Amino acid sequence: MKRSFMLWSACALAATLPAQASEELAKKHACFACHALDKKLVGPAYKEVAVKYRGDKGAEAKLFESVKKGSSGKWGQVPMPPNAAVPDADVKTLVKWILSQK
Ligand code: HEC
């Protein structure tokens, strides 16, 4: 009984991520020019990114690099240009938010 209660609490915590604020960040940094949450535009849907990296402990670091320095050949022919002007803290928030998509 105790164990299932703890699991439940962990889920409740995860659900309190500030999703709204992160979406604003993605708008501010023009990520939505090429990405949408649940369909492919120029780049992959964020939900697909979350599925691809689910269970990958190094995902946050990898995606941080991809967003900051650009990425190519992982999702198709079109590369993502570097987003070097986006502050590190914002990139971290965005990556966490993308990986939390369901
Ligand atoms: C000019 C279009 C464009 C913009 C702007 C853009 N992306 Fe991308 N993004 C892409 C493309 C294309 C890919 C697929 C690259 C590949 O195949 O490796 C991609 C891939 C990604 C991935 C997956 C990388 C991987 O290693 O699997 C993430 C995460 C991502 N973008 C986040 C962002 C964020 C956050 C922003 C805003 C700061 C952003 N993108 C802005 C086009 C864009």
**pLDDT given at position 1:** 54
Q: Residue 16 Cα, ligand 1 centroid: separation in angstroms?
A: 25
Q: Residue 87 Cα, ligand 1 centroid: separation in angstroms?
A: 16
**pLDDT given at position 19:** 80
Q: How many domains does the chain have?
A: 1
Task: Indicate the pLDDT class of residue 9, thresholds 50, 70 and 90.
Answer: low
Does residue 3 lie within any of the structural domains?
no
CB 5 within 8 A of CB 88: no
Does residue 8 lie within any of the structural domains?
no
Regarding the beta carbon of 76 and ligand 1, being less than 6 Å apart is answered: yes
Regarding the beta carbon of 25 and ligand 1, being less than 6 Å apart is answered: no
**pLDDT given at position 27:** 96
- Among 30, 23, 40, 100, which Cα is nearest to 75's? 40
Does residue 76 lie within any of the structural domains?
yes
12-55 pLDDT tens trace:
555 555 788 899 999 999 999 999 999 999 999 999 999 999 99
Does residue 23 lie within any of the structural domains?
yes
The atom of ligand 1 lying closest to the CA of 26 is 37
Max alpha carbon distance in the chain (Å)? 50
Does residue 72 lie within any of the structural domains?
yes
Does residue 70 lie within any of the structural domains?
yes
Does residue 1 lie within any of the structural domains?
no
CB 90 within 8 A of CB 29: yes
Residue 63: phi and psi, rounded to 5, are -70, -35
For the cut 60, the answer to whether the pLDDT of residue 75 exceeds it is: yes
Domain that holds residue 27: 18-99
Does residue 13 lie within any of the structural domains?
no
- CATH code: domain of residue 34: 1.10.760.10
